[in-house]
Amino acid sequence: MHLIKVDPRALKENPDRARQTKSTPQADALLLATIKAVGVVQPPVIAPERDGGNGYVINAGHRRVKQAIAAGLEEIDVLVDDVANDNGAMRSMIENIAREPLNPVDQWRAIERLVALGWSEEAIGIALTQPVRQIRKLRLLANILPAMLEQMAKGDMPEEKQLRIIAAAAHEEQSEVWKAHKPKKGDPQVSWWSVANALDRKKMYARDASFGDDLAKAYGIAWVEDLFAPADQDSRYTTDVEAFLGAQQEWMTNHLPKKGVIAAANNFGQVVLPPKAERVYGKPGKGDRAAMYLDREGKVQTVHYRLPEPKAAAKTGASGANGANGSDSDHEDGDLGKARPDVTRKGIAMIGDLRTDALHEALGRAPIEDDTLMALLILALAGRNVSILSGASDEVYGVTRMDRHAARLVAQTGDLAFDRETLRVAARAALIDTISARQNRTDSGIVARLAGAAIGADNFLVNMATEEFLSCLSRAALERACTGTSVLPRPRARDTRTALIERFKDERFVHPAATFAPDSAEVAVWLANTDDAVGDDVADERGEGPDAEAGPGGSEEDREAAEAEDAYRVAAE
């Protein structure tokens, strides 16, 4: 590189220069004034023409040359550089960025020129000391309407998210939106939010699709790569929402479980189950059914539910019972003026399901002494959900699950024949099918909690730090749940729930209301009721109760029944 003097009028402009946007009149006037005062301080950089001509092409300093001509200078000093393979495109860009940053539109034009000359995005990023993400962002401008580019070249750039939305739209759509949102006279800026919002299209991501490439091809889904998504996830998406949902729907139809249904979602994205169906929040049983639906994001979700057993034909006066049920339903809606309970009914139902799952898990795996096992059997048979004449819903050809458990202990000859391990397995299985803490007709009551506390079922409760459960807590209960943790209550309950979920994403959180051990007051009430019932039974046996007949021995029928019972006991002994 050497210095020479040349007539500025003899220099030719470089068509590959980086700065193509016109400078402002104020900036040109200032540069002209300085040249008239002190001349050209920094010589422009020129290079011989590449096509074999005798002239020189300006690589850097187009504005200086132009204003030198305007100042009437006959000669100026210039630096002559060797001919570059890229016609000085990279040198021109670096010089302009280092001296005065180019606006994003000019940067994009220079990047496209370098790409056309064989430069990779990574190489351009290294040369400009900019991340590849920024290079890719600027290359989005290739999809922008020219009228919008002119506005962006003035320094009025949208945010990255808005730019991506605009670039993803077709030029026809951009043109229609630009007509409605372009700046008016006297307004230097554009509401890019309005432009992006008008062009925004919902994206359905491939990572949320349950269907494969075959259904994607059948529905004409073409995936587009989101260049700004994290590198460790599938960022492909489509804006053809109808095709995406259609493929998801067909996939659900092809993979629907036996007796399963495809359900709809309400306006809040929650599944709409069949009438009278009860959702199962814990592990589904063999008799439970599955419902598949699409959530707000288009993902396939599966929930389980159970239907009530068919009731016997209504008796005379059933209309009155129905009326009572109707009033109960109205009462359950609650008074809007009442304070919200700590745990809603849905939350209590979830606790019942989670307790039952943990209880069954503990009965199947936790160490249980034989004496305790026998005590648990007595507790289980005292449950509210146990009936001697029970029509089990899983009965097949007159055989229930209890029949199958009992059959393990009986030989082909009809004799009891089992070892201790077989007895333990049968006892655990019978307990699992007997004890329940669910909030429905299968609820065993307090005995289920006593049993769970006895065998440490709390240790089998799953992590309850989920949005579904925590949303069932009142603000006060949610803030109390933060006690003893590193989570501080937030001004908004939603933020508190999010913080708890994040805190316990790798640990286990159990709400105090879900633990098994009942408090002393509950146990005292249960024992008192039980003692009263036992006392009445003893009094009846002695002929002292309210149902006893006059006389020390009661009625003739009672004496005959007592004698028959004594005879049965003697025979059994």
Domains held by the chain: number: 4
Assess whether pLDDT exceeds 80 at residue 221: yes
Q: Could you report the per-residue pLDDT of 437-459, keeping only the tens digit for each? A: 888 777 888 888 999 999 999 99
Among 85, 87, 77, which Cα is nearest to 44's? 77
Among 299, 301, 300, which Cα is nearest to 204's? 299
Sign of the dihedral through C-alpha 186, 192, 193, 199: positive
Asked if residue 319 belongs to a domain, the reply is no
Asked if residue 7 belongs to a domain, the reply is yes
Assess whether pLDDT exceeds 80 at residue 469: yes
Instruction: Give the mean pLDDT of 467-490.
Output: 89
For tokens 């039974």, the residue is: 537
Task: Give 301's pLDDT tier (boundaries 50, 70, 90).
Answer: very high
- 479 and 452 fall within a common domain: yes
pLDDT, residue 418, reads 67
Containing 343, the helix (H) or strand (E) segment is none
Assess whether pLDDT exceeds 90 at residue 564: no
- 510 and 526 fall within a common domain: no
For residues 99 and 28, which has the higher predicted lDDT (pLDDT)? 28
For residues 314 and 149, which has the higher predicted lDDT (pLDDT)? 149
Tokens of 125: 């990023």
Please enumerate in sequence order all residues whose Cβ is within 8 A of that of 476, keeping only pairs 6 or more positions apart, or say none: 342
Q: Could you report the per-residue pLDDT of 407-441, keeping only the tens digit for each? A: 776 778 877 676 778 778 878 888 888 888 888 77
Assess whether pLDDT exceeds 70 at residue 99: no
* Helices 121-128/132-139 angle, 10° precision: 120
Assess whether pLDDT exceeds 60 at residue 33: yes
- 240 and 382 fall within a common domain: no
Environment class of 18 (CB within 10 Å of its CB; exposed 0-12, middle 13-18, buried 19+): buried
Q: Are 457 and 358 in contact (CB under 8 A)?
A: yes
For residues 387 and 163, which has the higher predicted lDDT (pLDDT)? 163
pLDDT, residue 337, reads 52
Asked if residue 196 belongs to a domain, the reply is no
Average pLDDT of the chain, as a whole number: 77
Instruction: Give the mean pLDDT of 103-132.
Output: 78
Asked if residue 419 belongs to a domain, the reply is no
Instruction: Give the mean pLDDT of 462-466.
Output: 91
- 130 and 219 fall within a common domain: no
d(CA 534, CA 114): 94
Asked if residue 254 belongs to a domain, the reply is yes
Find which of 126-140, 246-260, 398-412, 554-568 is predicted with most confidence, using mean pLDDT.
246-260
pLDDT, residue 285, reads 82
pLDDT, residue 9, reads 87
pLDDT, residue 334, reads 43
pLDDT, residue 327, reads 44
Give buried/exposed letters for 65-79 (b at 16+ CB in 10 A, else e): bbbbbebebeebebb
The dihedrals phi and psi of 264, each to the nearest 5 degrees, come to -95, 170
Least confident of 122-126, 178-182, 414-418, 467-471: 414-418
pLDDT, residue 84, reads 58
- 272 and 298 fall within a common domain: yes
d(CA 546, CA 105): 98
Instruction: Give the mean pLDDT of 19-44.
Output: 77
For tokens 């021995």, the residue is: 553
> Which of 278, 306, 334 is the last residue in one of the domains?
306
pLDDT, residue 314, reads 52
Task: Give 170's pLDDT tier (boundaries 50, 70, 90).
Answer: confident
- At residue 384, the 3 state secondary structure works out as coil
Assess whether pLDDT exceeds 50 at residue 72: yes
- 450 and 526 fall within a common domain: no
- 375 and 256 fall within a common domain: no
Q: What would the DSSP string read from start to end of 3-62?
A: EEEE-GGG-B--TT-S--SPPPHHHHHHHHHHHHHH--SS--EEEE-TTS-SSEEEEE-H
Distance of CA 559 to the CA centre of its chain: 69
Q: Are 437 and 444 in contact (CB under 8 A)?
A: yes
The amino acid that residue 65 corresponds to is V
Q: Are 400 and 389 in contact (CB under 8 A)?
A: no
d(CA 411, CA 505): 50
Assess whether pLDDT exceeds 90 at residue 209: yes
Distance of CA 386 to the CA centre of its chain: 39
Q: Are 91 and 63 in contact (CB under 8 A)?
A: no
- 460 and 567 fall within a common domain: no
Q: Are 148 and 175 in contact (CB under 8 A)?
A: no
Domain interval for residue 544: 522-572
Distance of CA 567 to the CA centre of its chain: 67
Task: Give 563's pLDDT tier (boundaries 50, 70, 90).
Answer: low
Among 189, 104, 114, 175, which Cα is nearest to 145's? 175
Tokens of 162: 């808005």
pTM above 0.75, yes or no: no
Q: Are 141 and 171 in contact (CB under 8 A)?
A: no
Please enumerate in sequence order all residues whose Cβ is within 8 A of that of 432, keeping only pairs 6 or more positions apart, or say none: 360, 363, 364
Q: Could you report the per-residue pLDDT of 532-559, keeping only the tens digit for each? A: 655 555 455 445 554 444 444 444 555 5
Instruction: Give the mean pLDDT of 67-95.
Output: 74
Angle, alpha carbons 425-431-437 (nearest 5°): 145
pLDDT, residue 211, reads 93
Q: Could you report the per-residue pLDDT of 223-278, keeping only the tens digit for each? A: 988 766 676 778 888 888 888 999 999 999 999 988 889 998 887 788 889 888 88
- 350 and 447 fall within a common domain: yes
Q: What is the biggest distance separating any 2 CA atoms in the chain, rounded to whole angstroms? A: 143
For residues 397 and 302, which has the higher predicted lDDT (pLDDT)? 302
- 232 and 99 fall within a common domain: no
Asked if residue 183 belongs to a domain, the reply is no
Q: What would the DSSP string read from start to end of 416-435?
A: B---HHHHHHHHHHHHHTT-
pLDDT, residue 456, reads 92
What is the share, in percent, of the chain residues with pLDDT greater than 90? 12
Tokens of 256: 């629907």
Task: Give 390's pLDDT tier (boundaries 50, 70, 90).
Answer: very low
Kindly report the CATH number assigned to the domain that includes residue 108. Answer: 3.90.1530.10
Least confident of 11-25, 71-85, 470-484, 555-569: 555-569
d(CA 138, CA 167): 11
> Which of 498, 514, 530 is the last residue in one of the domains?
514
- Report the Cα–Cα distance between both ends of the chain, in Å, rounded: 120
Q: Are 232 and 207 in contact (CB under 8 A)?
A: no
Distance of CA 543 to the CA centre of its chain: 66
Asked if residue 444 belongs to a domain, the reply is yes
Asked if residue 322 belongs to a domain, the reply is no
pLDDT, residue 230, reads 72
The helix/strand count (H/E) of the chain reads as 23, 13
Instruction: Give the mean pLDDT of 373-388.
Output: 67
Instruction: Give the mean pLDDT of 8-29.
Output: 76
Q: Are 285 and 297 in contact (CB under 8 A)?
A: no
Instruction: Give the mean pLDDT of 30-46.
Output: 79
- 69 and 131 fall within a common domain: yes
Please provide the size of the chain in residues: 573
Kindly compute the dihedral angle of the four CA atoms of residues 440, 442, 448, 449, in this order, to the nearest 10 degrees: -10
- 238 and 374 fall within a common domain: no
What is the share, in percent, of the chain residues with pLDDT greater than 70? 75
Instruction: Give the mean pLDDT of 148-167.
Output: 82
